[in-house]
Structure 1
Amino acid sequence: MIDVFTFNENIKKGILNNCYLFCGIDEQLMKDGINSIINKVLDKTFMDLNYVKFDGSTLESFEPVVNACETLPFMSDKKVVLVYRANFFQEDKNDNVFNRIYEYASNLPDYCILIFYDVFKSKRDKPGKKIYKLDKRACVVKADKIKGQQLEGKIKSFFEARGKQIGRIELKVFSTLMDENNLNIIENEVEKLCCYTYEKSITKEDIKELFLKSNDDDIFDLVNPISQKKVKEAIEVLNELIYRGEKIPYILNMIERQFNRLFRVKMLLENKKNKQDIMKELNIRSDYACDIIIGQSKKFTLKQLEHALQLCLDCEQKLKSSTVNGKTEIELLVINTITG
């Protein structure tokens, strides 16, 4: 059994196995690992023909997976078969499916990479006997939340990928302010810090000023992926806010407030107002904050911002009804502001 860092190093070295099982509580780490395999062995041109997925939570028989594995790849040396949320590795689940997997794992065709992932329900869950048994015939990757030096190493790699250096002390300060539950959000924060410091060195003061967070920063994190039309990332940020205990009506109020500010900025820009005019009109004190909101406003048309504000009003009306699911309504709002 190996950790995600050993796995990543193996992938970089071109060390690949025919069968993988990712297990743990961090589903995003598992997905990242699976994507690294896919990017290594599959041509995007023929991805749809050589990448087959099964929902493990609904799989009653393993034979459809075997059939997919036995089918030759199309215009490729490899194909990938994924069984996601494969809960039959848990001790109280179907032994027949597991036994078939264990038997087949050592007989996979050379051209096929078979991948499973099993998301544990809580931090208390540990790999059981089935997983340890499969570890003899497959590569088992433990995907847990990363902390301490491992987290710092991952964050440092995000800075290096952007050509930015960060000192050891500054890296430790930055890491302590991050929520290790979501690497996507951390990477977004790295991007923000790189933009903020631009060509100068990163200092502790920069980090504290930027990440001792205010409510506006939280909504920036949500509206930014909305402005970039990234549905998945926007929903992840929204879920993170809800997970941290923010109430749905409060989140809606902050989203509506931010879209209202973007609308006002857009109107000022179309009326040929400069940055100083915008800062005075909206009472924005920071040049950086003004640059951010101007950049976000340019990702929308006036019509789109008007539509987003109307969606906020509609959502507010729906939330006043006790019959609707608040989380679902706010998710639909985020999706509709991107796709509408």
Structure 2
Amino acid sequence: MKDVLYLEEQLSKNRMSNCYIFCGSDEHSIKNYINKIVAKFVNKDFLDFNYSEIDGLNANIDNVRNACETLPFMSEKKAVVIYRANFLRDKVDKALESSSKEIMQYINNIPSECILIMYYIFENDREKESNKVRKLEKAVLAIKMSKLKGNSLSKKVTDILKDKGKDINKSDLAILCNNVENNLDIIENELEKLYCYTIDREITGKDILDIITKKNDNDIFNLVDFISQRKPQKSLDILNELIFKGEIETSILRMIQRQFKLLFIIKLGIETGKSKEQLSSELKLNPFICEKMMQQSSKFTLNQLKQNVEASLETERILKSKSVDSKLEMELLILKSTTIKI
């Protein structure tokens, strides 16, 4: 599978594929790159006539073929996007499996004037691409929206800052790469914050530590997300990873408390008609992070969030007042959180 840096290189050289398949855990980033592909190859003045979307749950060979084989209007290319194309997963029901086989066979017959784009979302950051997608790699450009690491991460961060007219020395670059969440969309948002904060001066290591949202915040987001899905084992896996990396149980608990408190405030704000812009301003959250948390809050009721906050406060009281197994108490908190009723 190719990565997002390969896709960027291809787009910069105006190289187009007839069919793209994206997979990954960050739908926001996937949609951004779909928009880049469409903007690059489809006439924007006649986009309404040359762009169509199909819900993956309703996709079948007939509506896919009809969409792809309609000639573009006043444009050399048209784009068809199948979103949430879960038929690309390995384990699906019989109806989706039937659609999967027929659509996969059709890929070799897509008209040259059409760009077919499909994507599906991983349930978590640890999921791998399906065997179905691997088998299609010779016929399509398959992009896994995986996290950037090592030299790829350093180069991307440096390039983004250069585009903004900012230089960064090697030691500060190392601090930045060690602290930023290695997800391209989050990186761009975090670097924009850093740029605005240091707009008239050089970036320092202190600026980075003061401004950048730490990696562990995303682990906590995923942990809470698994709680919302009633998946205690996956939440416990993340807890164990954090402890293995050296995080203290009380520190993890504070991060969980903060997440539930923010979700409660955001949920309450949404129900009283507040917008993303109002909430991100009031809570001093990056708009992208606020949007993700708004989506996560929708998976809970206000009562569930309130009970989770109370449960975390009770765990804090136990850890402070008694000689107990801290890890066990954290595990009990997670198990309790996944069973809280509406």
The answer, yes or no, to whether TM exceeds 0.5 is yes
> Once structures 1 and 2 are overlaid, which stretch shifts more, 11-20 or 167-176?
167-176
The equivalent residue for 2:333 is none
Counterpart in the other structure of 2:130:
128
Amino acid at match of 1:107: N
8 Å contact kept, 1:30–1:143: yes
The answer to whether the 8 Å contact 2:64/2:103 transfers is no
Query: Which secondary structure does the structure 2 equivalent of 1:106 belong to?
Result: helix
Correspondence list, 1:260-275, <5 A: none
Shift of 1:208: 2.9
Question: 1:189 Cα shift?
Answer: 2.5
Residue 187 of structure 2 is aligned to residue 197 of structure 1: no
Q: How far 1:168 moved relative to its partner? A: 2.0
1:61 maps to a residue whose letter is: N
Shift of 1:6: 1.0
* Larger of the two Rg values belongs to structure: 1
Q: 1:41 to 1:249 in 2, by over 3 A?
A: same
Measure the CA separation in 1 of the matches of 2:123 and 2:180. 23
2:17 maps to which residue?
Answer: 17
CA-CA distance at 1:113 after TM superposition: 0.2
**Structure 1 unaligned spans of 5+:** 219-235, 257-292, 297-318, 328-340
**2:129 aligned with 1:114:** no
SS of residue matched to 1:75? coil
Match of 2:71 in 1: 72
Deviations 1:184-238 (A, max 9, x none): 443233222222222322222332344488xxxx9xxxxxxxxxxxxxxxxx9xx
Give CA-to-partner distance per residue, 1:285-324, whole Å, 9 cap, x none. Answer: xxxxxxxx9xx9xxxxxxxxxxxxxxxxxxxxxx8x7499
* Paired position in structure 2 for 1:62: 61
Q: Distance in 2 between matches of 1:20 and 1:192?
A: 32
Separation (CA, whole Å) in 1 of partners of 2:8 and 2:138: 20
In 1, the alpha carbon distance for the partners of 2:211 and 2:24 equals 32
Does the residue aligned with 1:99 lie in a helix, a strand or coil?
helix
- Per the TM alignment, residue 92 of structure 1 is displaced from its structure 2 partner at its CA by 2.0
Consecutive unaligned residues of structure 2, counting only runs of 5 or more, are 226-254, 269-280, 285-300, 309-342
Query: In the alignment, does 2:48 pair up with 1:48?
Result: yes
- Measure the CA separation in 2 of the matches of 1:210 and 1:98: 45
The alignment-based identity, stated in percent, is 37
State the number of aligned residues. Answer: 247
Residue 250 of structure 1 deviates from its aligned partner by 4.7
Q: Which residue of 1 aligns with 2:91?
A: 92
Are the aligned partners of 1:3 and 1:142 in contact in 2 as well (CA < 8 Å)? yes
SS at match of 2:147: coil
Following the alignment from structure 2 to structure 1, what is the Cα–Cα distance between the partners of residues 223 and 97? 39
> 1:1-340 to 2 correspondence within 5 Å?
1-56=1-56, 58-59=57-58, 61-93=60-92, 94-181=96-183, 183-211=184-212, 245=256, 246-250=258-262, 322=303
Could you give the per-residue CA deviations for residues 122-152 of structure 1, whole angstroms, max 9, x where no partner exists? 3443333322222222121122122333222
Moved more, 118-127 or 18-27: 118-127
1:229 maps to what in 2? none
Measured in 2, the distance between the counterparts of 1:102 and 1:138 equals 10
**Can you list the C-alpha shifts for 1:78-124, whole angstroms capped at 9, x where unaligned?**
10000011111112223322221222111111110001112222344
TM-score, normalised on structure 2?
0.61
Structure 1 CA distance for aligned equivalents of residues 266 and 128 of structure 2: 39
What letter is aligned with 1:203? T
Asked if structure 1 preserves the Cα contact closer than 8 Å seen for 2:17 and 2:115, the reply is: yes
Checking the alignment, whether the CA contact within 8 Å between 2:85 and 2:118 is kept in structure 1 is yes
With normalisation by structure 1, the TM-score equals 0.62
Answer yes or no: is the 8 Å Cα contact 2:88–2:133 preserved in 1.
Answer: yes
Pair 1:30–1:125, CA change in 2 (3 A): same
**Within 1, Cα distance between the matches of 2:108 and 2:89?**
21
Conserved? CA contact 1:26–1:145, under 8 Å: no
Task: For residue 241 of structure 1, report the CA deviation from its aligned partner.
Answer: 11
Paired residues of 2:179 and 2:212 also in contact (CA < 8 A): yes
Would the aligned equivalents of 1:52 and 1:81 in 2 still touch at CA under 8 Å? yes
- Cα separation, 2, equivalents of 1:118 and 1:137: 18
- Report SS of the residue matched to 1:53: strand
**Range 92-101 or range 104-113, more displaced:** 92-101
Q: What letter corresponds to residue 35 of structure 2 in structure 1?
A: N
Compared with structure 1, are the counterparts of its residues 241 and 195 closer, same or farther at alpha carbon in structure 2 (3 Å cutoff)? farther
Counterpart in the other structure of 1:261: none
In 2, Cα distance between the equivalents of 1:109 and 1:206? 51
RMSD over aligned Cα atoms: 3.8
8 Å Cα contact 2:25-2:122 kept in structure 1: yes
Distance verdict in 2 for CA 1:251–1:25, change over 3 Å: closer
Query: Match of 1:76, as an amino acid?
Result: S
Amino acid at match of 2:66: N
SS in 2 for 1:2: coil
Q: 1:110 to 1:121 in 2, by over 3 A?
A: same
